[in-house]
């Protein structure tokens, strides 16, 4: 039963577009093929969990986390189009927000109908990053205090965030999608010198780490990696093997 379940799961993982494709794929995953794949995956998992590989993973993480951070900041510099949510639930007005290339100022303003990606010069309002105090999300946002019930309101709450600056001043957002929400939440926290909290960061970091580890260990394929480093040999009793070079021999 476990093999049959794995056959079906692996076949559906290929997103079959027809019943014939499903039958062909599942017939190729016989017992011996399933057993072979399990052994390969177990070997890869054991290598990934070995102490030397875990240590290498730990050393690579800061650099790759920096790449994720740069990606998030670049995303903010590209800017995003947001919809204004009024008390009448009208969503026809748009505004745009983007980060300056030097990461010091957030520029925003109303969006004209014929401009999808306005330059910074057209965004007349701005907030200095140094004035940002914190980033609020969900029900903690000022514009989400009364939006707690209903499926549509819950969806808006899940994509809501606010930038608090100065005294009791907030710039309120509702991200167009969950991806935009994660990107902006990570980018704003990166600007504040804090950890990037979204699940998207964990997924991207794991993908980069696994790829980098595979590249680093490519030359060690089919070579067992010991759990412990080899012992250090004892110090030699004398140094007679050393050759003393003198300037007269030059």
- pLDDT, the chain, mean: 83
pLDDT at 151 over 80: no
Q: How far apart are CA 48 and CA 206, in angstroms?
A: 12
Candidate from 13-22, 43-52, 89-98, 205-214 with smallest mean pLDDT: 43-52
Q: What was the pLDDT predicted at 249?
A: 54
Q: What's the pLDDT at 13? A: 83
**Phi-psi region for residue 120, left (φ > 0), alpha (ψ -120 to 50) or beta?**
alpha
How would residue 223 be classed by pLDDT, with cut points 50, 70 and 90?
Answer: low
Residue 206, φ and ψ in degrees, nearest 5: -65, -40
pLDDT score recorded for residue 187: 96
Average pLDDT over residues 195-213: 89
Mean pLDDT of 31-45: 70
Instruction: Give residue 238's pLDDT.
Output: 81
Which pLDDT does position 206 carry in this prediction?
87
CA distance 235 to 244: 20
Q: Cβ atoms within 10 A of the Cβ of 119, count?
A: 10
* Average pLDDT of the residues in 221-228: 67
Regarding pTM above 0.95, the answer is no
Instruction: Pick the closest to residue 185 from 160, 205, 212, 153 (CA basis).
Output: 160
pLDDT (mean) for 47-55: 71
68-201 adopts what CATH topology?
Answer: PH-domain like (2.30.29)
pLDDT at 1 over 60: yes
Sorted by where each begins, the domain ranges of the chain are 1-37, 68-201
SS3 labels along the chain:
CHHHHHHHHHHHCCCCCCHHHHHHHHHHCCHHHHHHHHHHHHHHHHHHCCHHHHHHHHHHHHHHHHHHHHHHHHHHHHCEEEECCCCCCCCCCEEEEEECCCCCEEEEEECCCCCCCCCHHHCCEEEEHHHEEEEEEHHHCHHHCCCCCCHHHHHHHHCEEEEEECCCEEEEEECCCHHHHHHHHHHHHHHCCCCCCCHHHHHHHHHHHHHHHHHHCHHHCCCCCCCCCCCCCCCCCCCCCCCCCCHHHC
User: Which of 26-35, 67-76, 90-99 ranks highest by mean pLDDT?
Assistant: 67-76
**Listed range (28-37, 45-54, 227-236) with the worst mean pLDDT:** 45-54
- CA proximity to 134, closest of 156, 159, 166: 166
* Res 36 pLDDT > 60: yes
pLDDT in tens, 87-140: 555 556 889 999 999 999 999 998 876 777 888 998 999 999 999 999 999 888
Q: What pLDDT is stored for residue 126 in this prediction?
A: 93
């Amino acid at each position: 039963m476990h093999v049959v379940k794995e056959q079906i799961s692996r076949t559906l993982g290929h997103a079959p577009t027809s019943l014939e494709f499903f039958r062909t794929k599942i017939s190729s995953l016989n017992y011996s093929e399933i057993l072979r794949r399990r052994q390969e995956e177990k070997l890869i998992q054991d290598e990934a969990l070995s102490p030397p590989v875990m240590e290498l993973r730990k050393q690579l993480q800061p650099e790759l986390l920096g790449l994720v951070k740069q990606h998030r900041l670049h995303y903010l510099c590209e800017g995003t189009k947001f919809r204004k949510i009024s008390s009448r639930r009208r969503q026809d007005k748009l505004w745009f927000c983007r980060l300056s290339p030097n990461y010091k100022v957030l520029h925003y303003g109303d969006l004209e109908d014929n401009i999808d990606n306005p330059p910074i010069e057209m965004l007349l309002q701005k907030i200095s990053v140094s004035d940002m105090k914190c980033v609020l999300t969900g029900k903690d946002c000022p514009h989400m205090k009364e939006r707690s019930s209903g499926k549509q309101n819950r969806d808006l709450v899940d994509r809501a965030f606010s930038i608090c600056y100065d005294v009791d001043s907030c710039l309120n957002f509702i991200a167009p999608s969950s991806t935009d929400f994660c990107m902006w939440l990570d980018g704003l926290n990166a600007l504040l010198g804090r950890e990037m909290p979204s699940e998207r960061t964990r997924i991207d970091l794991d993908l980069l780490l696994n790829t980098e580890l595979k590249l680093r260990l490519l030359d060690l394929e089919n070579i067992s990696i010991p759990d412990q480093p080899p012992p250090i040999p004892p110090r030699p009793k004398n140094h007679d093997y050393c050759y003393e070079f003198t300037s007269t021999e030059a």
